Amino acid sequence: MVGRAHSDANVEVSAASSDQKSVLANLLELYQHDFSEFMELEIGLDGRYVYRDLDVYWTDPQRFPFLIFAAGKLAGFVLVRGMTPEIAGAPRWDMAEFFILRGFRRSSVGTRSALEVFARFRGHWQVRVMQSNLPACAFWNRAVRLFAGDSVQLNHRSADGREWNVFSFHSPPLD
């Protein structure tokens, strides 16, 4: 149980600076490799995946890149995207990408990171998860309900030939 060793670790979610873009790009390679189990992703002749939108996380004021650290060690990343239009004057947020390195999974590092991000960005949230990604569905079901309780709405959508679970809730949680 590798991940259990990190369950009591101090978890820090830090804004990724432009100097850390290459670190995030490297983590995105691991993320996309893991994700290729659930959808077909093209790998280039250079042996790397392409994540086209990475650069805009440092130029678009509605995109926010974060690195996750546990006990001072790099543990993953989060990409948050602001959405328009607002709902009743409140911002809308999308968990664009979320990744925890395998050695830190099943240790609360992911849950604690997700809860911290939800608390930082007040407004309406959506978390989209491919239904075929059963571990991610279980993780997000627990994490969003831990944060927002019974106010979480779960909807199902079809897009690009895939089925998605979409969790919607508010930060701070509604009473």
Walk me through the domains of the chain, giving residue ranges and CATH numbers.
3-171 (3.40.630.30)
pLDDT band at 1 (very low <50, low <70, confident <90, very high): very low
- What pTM, to 2 d.p., does this model score? 0.90
Instruction: State the average pLDDT for the chain.
Output: 90
Q: Is the dihedral of CA 40, 45, 47, 51 positive or negative?
A: negative
pLDDT at 6: 61
Query: What torsion, rounded to 10 degrees, do the Cα atoms 161, 86, 99, 160 define?
Result: 10
Residue 113 clears pLDDT 60, i.e. is over it? yes
**3-class secondary structure, 65:** strand
> What is the DSSP secondary structure assignment for residue 25, as one 8-state letter?
H
Of residues 174, 132, 135, the one with CA closest to residue 151:
174
Region 81-87 average pLDDT: 88
Above pLDDT 90, what percent of the chain? 73
First to last CA, the chain: 37
Above pLDDT 70, what percent of the chain? 94
pLDDT at 85: 83
**How far is 103 from 153, CA to CA, in rounded Å?**
31
**Region label for 88, one of left (φ > 0), alpha (ψ between -120 and 50) or beta (otherwise):** left
**3-class secondary structure, 169:** strand
**How far is 63 from 108, CA to CA, in rounded Å?**
25
